[in-house]
Chain A
């Protein structure tokens, strides 16, 4: 059995609630059949808080083994680096996090807040929030860039606001079974960050033919005008549907790029920044000149059913 301790720092609870939607495996299956013992979860544990106090003391002293530390939420460092804007019984949670991380065999950042700072770190970052081992896209958050957990791994960043339920439970299952875990350059488990949110979007045909919406509420592609980051964002949203049924882009909501270190962008989130007619940021790896030539041809070739937005999404 591998022990798991879930700590919330500057969080909204969204990752904890998202993980309850996981089905394969479900959160409860992790404990019933995947070999994980839950030491503590702030929303779900029913032992009194003195148990929490004893646990953090015993883990910090080494008396209690800690295999997996999950941290949900931004690391709050204000005011002036003390971390006291987010405290527990007078002690900065930042310090509790550091003490537990020191003893953990594996540390997992659940969600974009714990990974990179997230929404709370958006300008002007009133609580001086950072991630566990990144500060936005810069390595080195609460823990230095060369920091490694007992297993030799850096903090595993399961980015997303919230993190995808299966990215969380399937990673935990892999850890419980000692399976190798490949990470991308942002220390995200590659298995969940090697597809684009765009892949599998039901609006793809509209994107191919460059049939774009100007307003929300339509059926067409949201990339050119409405700020959609789907072609730029590594996430499984459209290949492993949310809640088993849907994704934001399928529902007509632009992808806001919530698995990226710069989420939320500092610009208008529902608008696409452009140079002339062309989006400033093009789909990953695309060459600007070729893309425009292709788009012009594609638009001219669009069948009437697509041009007239007759296809349902």
Chain B
């Protein structure tokens, strides 16, 4: 048996990723994910004024800063007992949805589909079609995506002043109310983007697309010419032809913090799409319990502790130990000590999208279904963004900001579904300043290393069994890792010493 140790680097993943992969006869037997950058955000926050988190944490990530800002604002609100008025929640949701549409389109058509324009596939019957649509800086859908996403983020700018990186959400609400001018401008942007999505991406009106609820109906739908010629139609046929719907399922369990706060209630935990933990063994969905979240460091270069620690008790104290079985600076987040995956597939499955549930029941998760769920989520984002605008228009005199009544010391957390999945911020405020801040990002869940029990993280699991034909151009690994929408800059704990590491299982 030919055993090869392969170090794989990947671009187009928001940040940089290196993977240490063991191939047995060309098939991945083991994988370890290694982040290559350490910046120390959590340390920078300690000792600062609590609101500074609203400025510092969006800078964790340039593509999902709104989600970090939202988590920060929720964490401060929980610590201070502040309740945002309904219109503030509507504006926050609207901005998060716009950022989500931006992310889901760019992730799909700037980061994921370019792999199908790889010369490796030049002889495939679908190659010319994929090039015409998706070739970077040339393909029709690629160029249209650049134009459409540029407009969509205007929605965030209307309320936040700019995208990326602003700080317009604060404990108590948002800095700017809706008015007729902003609502009208946002609606125009949304209309155009939705029309493009309907005509070019799915080939049908939004309502018909969202009404599609069974796997077999989707496969039949793909045969209709308009649907077959749509970007998602082409992509589905191509990705399924490569068998990517049957590979790389990864972790069975899934986690969602629930998409978008419900503006109709003051219950900070109520969301428009349900939160929960999907048990991959039983198919049951249990209510979310944030006390079940912990982080392990057994295989990470941090000061040792036993088992997992909840983020409020967490610590980030580097402890580099070369030569042993610790191989990364990423912590291993777990839910009730279980390995989970998170992202649009988890969000829609737990949130109750029947088509995603049906496809998952029929074929299980895989690279195709993860990417498909991301494209599908855009429809939910359009639908709910329009609802937020309609509700704002109907309640223009509603408040948008209620200053916190007291800013006492305390603990808080903010849980958000970012574009890439479950994002949590945990804060402790003491003597009026930040005593502790811990961030657990979606990519930390998905890219986690082994934990105390030796369980590999989600990516590490999803790569096992994948056949790699050309170690110089491991496009198969690209398909799978990029289907997770990885964001290495988000993985704030990660750090690499640059040494090639070997994991001894």
Contacts and interface: CB of A to CB of B under 8 A. Distances in A.
A216 B59 contact: no
Interface stretch (A20-28, A98-106, A136-144, A293-301): A20-28
Contacts of B495: 85
A242 B497 CA distance: 38
Interface stretch (B12-20, B218-226, B285-293, B371-379): B12-20
Interface string A120-142: 10111111010000000000000
Contact of A162 (B39, B51, B159, B164): B164
A262 B430 CA distance: 26
Contacts, number: 232
Central interface residue in A27, A44, A76, A251, by most chain B CB within 10 Å: A251
A50 B56 contact: no
A253 B38 contact: no
A310 interface: no
A129 B12 contact: no
A248 B170 CA distance: 14
Contacts of B49: 267-271
Contacts of B489: 11-13
A251 B161 contact: yes
A215 B401 contact: yes
Given A84-B497, A256-B55, A245 B185 contact: yes
A287 B3 CA distance: 74
A218 to B, nearest CB: 8
Given A251-B168, A252-B168, A271-B49, A89 B9 contact: yes
B124 to A, nearest CB: 16
B163 interface: yes
B472 A50 contact: yes
Nearest to A48: B473
B498 A87 contact: yes
Interface residues of B, number: 78
B307 interface: no
Nearest to B473: A48
B117 A10 contact: no
A243 interface: yes
Given A43-B14, A84-B498, A127-B38, A12 B153 contact: no
A18 B496 CA distance: 27
A12 B157 contact: no
B168 A253 contact: yes
A270 B62 CA distance: 22
Interface of A is mostly: loop
A179 to B, nearest CB: 24
B340 interface: no
Given A20-B106, A253-B168, A264-B56, 19 more contacts: A8-B16, A12-B61, A17-B62, A20-B149, A45-B11, A48-B475, A87-B36, A87-B496, A119-B44, A119-B56, A127-B39, A162-B164, A216-B170, A217-B170, A217-B176, A242-B163, A243-B153, A252-B175, A270-B51
28 contacts: A14-B59, A14-B165, A21-B150, A26-B150, A31-B137, A38-B137, A42-B11, A44-B12, A44-B137, A46-B12, A48-B118, A48-B472, A89-B18, A122-B44, A123-B44, A124-B43, A127-B39, A217-B170, A237-B162, A242-B157, A245-B157, A248-B166, A249-B161, A251-B166, A256-B55, A264-B55, A268-B49, A270-B51
Interface of B: 7, 9-12, 14-16, 18, 36-40, 43-44, 48-49, 51-52, 54-56, 59-63, 65, 106, 110-111, 114-115, 117-118, 136-137, 143, 146, 149-150, 153-154, 156-168, 170, 172-176, 179, 185, 400-401, 403, 472-473, 475, 489, 495-500
